[in-house]
Amino acid sequence: MQDELSQFEKNSVWTLVERPSFHPVIGTKWVFRNKLNDKGEIIRNKARLDAKGYAQEEGINFDETFAPVARLESIRMFLAFACFNDFKLFQMDVKSAFLNSFIDQEVFVEQPQGFENKIFSNHVFKLSKTLYGLKQAPRAWYED
């Protein structure tokens, strides 16, 4: 959990501000997963902080949703081209992909449970970059 929050600080994802009176604040939740090796043994525990995007309302919190999807034909053509030209392909998993895309709307989220600021406990975070779970996160990532 601390690794995730340090990624937020490193990428300047948010700033702590006073709770807005006329703007909705979205909740946050921790999502936990176990990373397994080839034998199915747990090798690492992972934690990710998500926004409660399911609580967002269209027209109030966001205008439209977007999900970039690759067509299967495109992937096959790419793999065939790479094979024909003896290209070496690598798969990459970006741990904090959405944390690198800027958001163009004012979005406020609650402080993560268990990591509230003791002095400013009633404050919320104003996002400058997207967060997993937000409805507008895929579009912002794709546009950057």
- Please, which residues bridge with residue 102 across strands? 129
127: tokens are: 């996002």
Band (106; pLDDT cuts 50, 70, 90): confident
**Residue 93 in tokens:** 């998993």
- % of the chain beyond a pLDDT of 70: 77
pTM: 0.67
Structure tokens at 84: 């024909």
Q: Which among 64-73, 78-87, 104-113, 114-123 has the top mean pLDDT?
A: 78-87
Residue 82: per-residue pLDDT = 94
For residue 53, what pLDDT band results from cuts at 50, 70 and 90? confident
* 36-44 average pLDDT score: 86
Mean pLDDT, residues 37-43 taken together: 87
Burial class (CB in 10 A: 0-12, 13-18, 19+), 15: exposed
The Cα 30–Cα 47 span in angstroms is: 7
Whether the per-residue pLDDT at 63 is higher than 70: the answer is: no
Question: Count of CB atoms within 10 A of residue 103's CB?
Answer: 20
Mean pLDDT of all residues belonging to the chain: 81
Query: What residue ranges do the domains of the chain occupy?
Result: 2-143
